[in-house]
A and B are shown apart, each in its own frame.
Chain A
Amino acid sequence: AQKVTQAQTEISVVEKEDVTLDCVYETRDTTYYLFWYKQPPSGELVFLIRRNSFDEQNEISGRYSWNFQKSTSSFNFTITASQVVDSAVYFCALRDSGGSNYKLTFGKGTLLTVNP
């Protein structure tokens, strides 16, 4: 069965600090898909990135970057020069190719607070 662990329940940083959110996953499948979503206080889950298991290339988008490491089953997310608007709950999610593969397995989320 698949599992996603976000060990950091809450992180608090001061604006302009860099912050890394950890995500460790478990799956028996060789083909799977990893996602990060952002949920600000307004409630909407905003899609940030999708990574396929066969694509280990890291990604950078502005201040955001993602480090996918199959060897350690991790898909970590780094925000560079954090801003107050980055304050949100961030969810890492996994979908593998087995079972009901419409279903996303979410981690418990990490609440990031960026203080001015």
Chain B
Amino acid sequence: DTEVTQTPKHLVMGMTNKKSLKCEQHMGHRAMYWYKQKAKKPPELMFVYSYEKLSINESVPSRFSPECPNSSLLNLHLHALQPEDSALYLCASSRAGRTDTQYFGPGTRLTVL
């Protein structure tokens, strides 16, 4: 089973709102990722958690705040976003190794008004 789930599927928020995206996997993977994907572009890595610790932050603005409460869950907290942050946000997971295959969830389509 290579399933990564994400909620919500769609999210519309104003620039002053606070919202969270949620990602869950039950494959026993120990690395989890957030990607941002704009239309007609490839995904761009935002954050990597390895063994529940933040391993990589690709210079993402602080209005995006990741959290990894346990090995199965990954959250992305959103605050004071800009319209240009509207995108598809994809979560992925892999086994612990750095070269392991990443499996992606269905994504959350975020619109910032």
**Which residues of A are found within 8 Å of B56, using beta-carbon distances?**
100, 102-103
State the total of A-B contacts with C-beta under 8 angstroms: 54
How many of chain A's residues have a CB under 8 angstroms from any CB in B?
22
> With A97-B99, A100-B56 as given contacts, are A106 and B107 in contact (CB-CB < 8 Å)?
no
**Which residues of B are found within 8 Å of A50, using beta-carbon distances?**
101
Whether the pair A45, B104 counts as a contact (CB closer than 8 A) is yes
Complex: A103 Cα to B50 Cα, angstroms: 13
Segment from A12-20, A36-44, A65-73, A79-87 that makes contact with B: A36-44
Name the one of A47, A97, A102, A108 contacting B104, with C-beta atoms under 8 angstroms. A47
> With A43-B109, A91-B42 as given contacts, are A104 and B99 in contact (CB-CB < 8 Å)?
no
Whether the pair A47, B106 counts as a contact (CB closer than 8 A) is no
B2 within 8 A of A: yes
Name the one of A37, A46, A101, A108 contacting B41, with C-beta atoms under 8 angstroms. A108
CB distance from A21 to the nearest CB of B (A): 14
B21 within 8 A of A: no
Whether the pair B102, A104 counts as a contact (CB closer than 8 A) is yes
**Which residues of A are found within 8 Å of B2, using beta-carbon distances?**
47
**Interface residue range, chain B:** 20 to 34
Whether the pair A106, B99 counts as a contact (CB closer than 8 A) is no
Whether the pair A103, B106 counts as a contact (CB closer than 8 A) is no
Whether the pair B42, A107 counts as a contact (CB closer than 8 A) is yes
Complex: A107 Cα to B45 Cα, angstroms: 14
Given contacts A47-B2, A91-B43, 17 further A-B contacts (CB under 8 A): A33-B99, A44-B90, A44-B105, A45-B104, A91-B42, A100-B56, A101-B99, A102-B45, A102-B56, A102-B98, A103-B45, A103-B56, A104-B43, A104-B45, A106-B43, A108-B41, A108-B42
B-side residues, CB < 8 A to A, are 2, 31, 33, 40-43, 45, 48, 50, 55-56, 88, 90, 92, 98-99, 101-107, 109
A-side residues, CB < 8 A to B, are 33, 35, 37, 42-47, 50, 91, 95, 97, 100-104, 106-109
